[in-house]
Structure 1
Amino acid sequence: MSLTYKRILVAIDGSQEASWAFKKSLEICKRNNAALIITHVIDTRTFATVEAYDRTVAEKAEKYAEQLMSEYKLHAEQAGVKEVFTTISYGSPKVKIAKEIAPKHHVDLIICGATGLNAVERFFIGSVSEHITRYAKCDVLVVRTNKDSI
């Protein structure tokens, strides 16, 4: 059994915790010479609250996701990660990351922030990181603090 990771998935949602998770993923990728898969899931349930489904809301979310992914990809490459991939999905982040995206990309480690952006969902349903930890078939690292503040 190997103690190194080959394919690392980091979940990005624009939150501060996700940014910390990304920084940690860069360190682990470089130490393990691993590929990095950066993912963002556009939560389609947020569109359900929009009266008469407004296409521009979805387009803005998509544009934001693409911009976020390209910035993170560039940052990872500049930091010295040799293989960097990005993926944007639609649906429930907690379900997509653990049950679809990670298996599809054969990842052996998922890294995510402790909280993320959606406080209402956390209160009623439980956090995305909690769900990923429960359902992922690989190791999960939940990042709680900024590495610079330790």
Structure 2
Amino acid sequence: MYQEYKRILAPIDGSKEAKKAFLKAIQVARRNEASLDIAHIIDTRAMQVGDGYEIIYTDDMSSEGKALLADYEKMAHDHGLEDVHTHLEYGSPKQVITEELSVDCKSDLIMIGATGLSAVERLLVGSVSDYVIRNAPCDVLVVRTDLENKLSE
């Protein structure tokens, strides 16, 4: 049985791992003539400073997120994709990806970068990709390699 994907969700966070996953998502979307949803989630847990700086902090993060999404949307269009949608969301990234975006976008595949966290960081905050693998309502592909299927150093 040949699986065709029609709605691909590619969460991005500005990391090298997310970019590798995104570039592969473009290729999969092209092969499947699928739409591509690009999502950036601002982790609201990082904004709890309580000194009135959260508004400035949020505005800065929103501006950076919008710029990142615009760059990735342009990259997708430059690679020949037309059906591209961007999403700027707020909350816990792992929950927004699995419980909101994948459902709202009707995703049948999530392509996500492998975690770059150390063992201690994973223990304290948990890995987004681990959570998505366990809880997503659709297929999940965790990307570890570049377009030539090589691990980067």
TM over 0.5: yes
Contact 2:17 2:143 in 1 (8 A): yes
Work out the percentage of aligned pairs sharing the same amino acid.
44
Corresponding residue number in structure 1 for 2:140: 140
Distance 2:121 2:89 in 1: 19
Which residue pairs with 2:15 in the alignment? 15
Unaligned runs of 5+ in 2: none
- Per the alignment, residue 45 of structure 2 pairs with 45
1:53 Cα deviation from its structure 2 partner: 3.6
Q: C-alpha separation between the residues in 2 aligned to 1:139 and 1:57?
A: 34
Per-residue deviation, 1:145? 1.9
Change (3 A) 1:119 1:72: farther
Do structure 1's residue 97 and structure 2's residue 112 form an aligned pair? Answer: no
Is residue 126 of structure 1 aligned with residue 126 of structure 2? yes
Gaps of 5+ in 1: none
Contact 2:112 2:141 in 1 (8 A): yes
Distance across 2 between alignment mates of 1:9 and 1:121: 25
* Separation in structure 2 between the aligned mates of residue 122 and residue 10 of structure 1, nearest angstrom: 21
RMSD: 1.9
Contact 1:35 1:84 in 2 (8 A): yes
Q: Distance in 2 between matches of 1:131 and 1:69?
A: 23
Aligned CA distance change for structure 1 residues 119 and 60 (closer, same or farther; 3 Å): farther
Contact 1:18 1:112 in 2 (8 A): yes
CA contact (8 A) 2:117 2:127 kept: no
The 8 Å contact of residues 122 and 128 in structure 1, kept in 2 or not, is answered as no
Q: Are 2:85 and 1:80 aligned?
A: no
Q: Which amino acid aligns with 1:40?
A: H
> Equivalent residue for 2:107?
107
Residue type of the partner of 2:75? H
Q: Any conservation in 2 of the 1:13–1:116 contact (CA below 8 Å)?
A: no
Aligned-residue offset at 1:81: 1.1
CA distance in 1, matches of 2:142, 2:52: 34
Aligned length: 149
TM-score normalised by the chain length of structure 1:
0.92
Deviations 1:89-131 (A, max 9, x none): 0000010001111100100000111015798752314200000
